[in-house]
Chain A
Amino acid sequence: MTSDGIPILSTDGITKAFGGIRAVDRCSLAIQPGKITGLIGPNGAGKTTLFNLIAGLYAPDEGTITLRGERIDGRPPFEIVQKGVVKTFQIPREFRNLTVLENLMVAYPGHPGERPLSALIGWKRVWDREEEVRKKALDILSLVELDQLSDANASDLSGGQKKLLELARSLMVDPKVILLDEPLAGVNPTLTGKLLGIIEGLRDRKSTFFMIEHDMDVVMNRCDRVIAMHQGRPIAEGAPEEVRHNELVMEAYLGG
């Protein structure tokens, strides 16, 4: 392996089985901070399951997950988010009956107004914070060009717009590590470029991205590193060009 420096996030031999299927199988990998790491692999390779394991939505059957030297496997998802790791869903999971703006605002971490007592009393500082949250949400919405739709019901968005909403919502958390599950699928080409620009901008400000992506152009040109996964485990890792020409990877894609 050509790892340079201390990884921000690493998994060690994690396994997750559903009934008989070992969706993730003794998987060990490491993510470098401040980089965009692409995750590729044929359908059913276990990429989404790996993300769910890291985000704490599933507990691994075996193995450990480490974030900056700290074990996070088996922690509840909300704690993992609090530690700075957030994940988007491959199939958007918008809050259907909240507006687009509210979808973002609800994602704001540690809102004092989300404690019943302070909400009931109605401290001024709670509602001042609410204003800040609204501003932040509107900023992020204009970044992903959804500001026109801020008052629309989230369920009324198109498929591509929902993908944008997923990304925007995760940005509300100010995450250090962002796990993006096919963030560009279904987003139109002009916006794709813009989104990648945003991602690269955030990366330059020291955010770490781990991104599942099927579009090889994106993976080759935009990712700093690439990990290829097959049958629940990484089979190649390195610079995009290296991985692209790796025999195992070509076999995995051709052989299915």
Chain B
Amino acid sequence: MVEAVGIVADVASFGALVGIFAMLALALNLQWGKTGLFNAGIAAFWGLGAYTASMVVTNPVPTALARPGHWGIDQAAFPAVFGVSTSFTVAIILAAIAAGVLAFFIAIPTMRLRADYFAIATLGFAEIVMNVFVKNLPGITGGVEGIGGVPQPFEFGAEGWKTNLSYFLLVASVVVVLFFLLERLVRSPWGRVLQAVREDEDAAQALGKDTFSLKLQSFVLGAGIMGLSGAFFAFWLRGVSPPPNSFTAADTFAVWVIVIIGGSGNNRGVLAGAFVVPFLEYFSVRAKSWFDLQEPLASQIFYFRLIAIGVVLILLIMWRPQGIFPEPKHVAKRPRWVIGR
């Protein structure tokens, strides 16, 4: 019985991480898969969302001699609804907005760059945001320590499996809703014109499309979803810490791996691909006990995980660039329900 409960807790926690990466991948699939925007700064949007959410759901901590403090909100300010603090809802929304706003300001100077320049620029912006600002603003972000003691929406105390399971269900339902909303969006005239922009931006412009706005919309919306994912990640991890622990370029490219494996432009494929990265993550954590690994292999397994990601990336781009599930033929399709008369 104890063992079964442990497995449930474990699987639920794994599932939640899959869901968190699935959100990231769906967002990148909008930006890259549909619009052709090479976002190499995912870590920044994700991280900003995570930090924002962490600040909203924790009390402020003043900087002390031993620890850098961070901003927060007095949790007494949030009323509870059905026993769950409303701070979580606020946190999630603010996380998405913060990431979206960051994306807006990053996009203004970089949006008109070619794909390769855009990649370098977004990578650089991410580096600045996470490694320069977030890490070096103790008193606001907790500096190199990050923010600890982040709660989860549903806490069951000693019954950890219930906490994990309910959190998994929450994340899963958010992913499902996101999936349907995004599918609806890409199968609309908006999705169609985004694809036109991706395939030939000049031609789209010559036909009167405001390609800058369209790309901006896609980028900001995608980044907002990444921020949303960041909030769920912060709850999942029960805290945030700056690079090199979290929110690194390796995280960014892990999301790329997911999208490339799943098939860019295919939301279903990307959902399937979202299992890969958390699985490697989990495997590298658990392999130690499963296979009774000895040092130094036990600590090296983390690096092997990243090597595996690199190998998969290269092999896929060489042999199957369209991914496991190729992009579906795009048709804007009237959804089953429409609003209005």
Contacts and interface: CB of A to CB of B under 8 A. Distances in A.
Interface of A: 55, 57, 76-78, 80-82, 86-87, 89, 93-99, 102, 105-107, 109, 111, 113-116, 119-127, 130, 133, 169-170, 172-173
A57 B199 contact: no
A170 B208 CA distance: 10
Contact count band on B? 35 or more
Contacts of A120: 181, 184-185, 188
A125 B340 contact: yes
Given A77-B206, A173-B208, A115 B190 contact: yes
19 contacts: A76-B212, A77-B206, A78-B208, A86-B206, A86-B207, A93-B203, A95-B200, A96-B199, A97-B195, A105-B189, A106-B189, A119-B191, A120-B185, A122-B184, A122-B338, A123-B340, A130-B189, A130-B334, A169-B207
B198 to A, nearest CB: 9
B188 A113 contact: yes
A57 B203 contact: no
Q: Which of B181, B196, B337 has most A Cβ within 10 Å?
A: B196
Contact of B208 (A94, A95, A109, A123): A109
B211 interface: yes
A78 B181 CA distance: 28
Contacts of B211: 78
B205 interface: yes
Nearest to B220: A116
Contacts of A97: 195, 199, 327, 330
Question: Which are the 4 A-B pairs with shortest beta-carbon distances?
Answer: A81-B208, A113-B189, A119-B188, A93-B203
B330 A102 contact: yes
Nearest to B208: A81
A102 B190 CA distance: 12
Given A78-B211, A169-B207, 14 more contacts: A57-B205, A77-B205, A77-B206, A78-B205, A81-B208, A97-B195, A98-B199, A105-B332, A106-B189, A114-B190, A121-B339, A122-B188, A127-B334, A133-B189
A170 B204 CA distance: 11
Interface in B137-190: 181, 184-185, 188-190
B330 A98 contact: yes
A114 B200 CA distance: 17
Contact of A76 (B202, B207, B210, B341): B210
Given A102-B331, A124-B340, A57 B206 contact: yes
B288 interface: no
Q: Which of A76, A95, A97 has most B Cβ within 10 Å?
A: A95
A116 B188 CA distance: 9
B335 interface: yes
B206 A81 contact: yes
Nearest to B341: A124
B206 A55 contact: yes
A94 B208 CA distance: 15
Contacts of A121: 339
Interface in B52-82: none
Given A57-B206, A78-B210, A102-B331, A93 B200 contact: yes
Interface in B307-341: 327, 329-332, 334-335, 337-341
B200 A123 contact: no
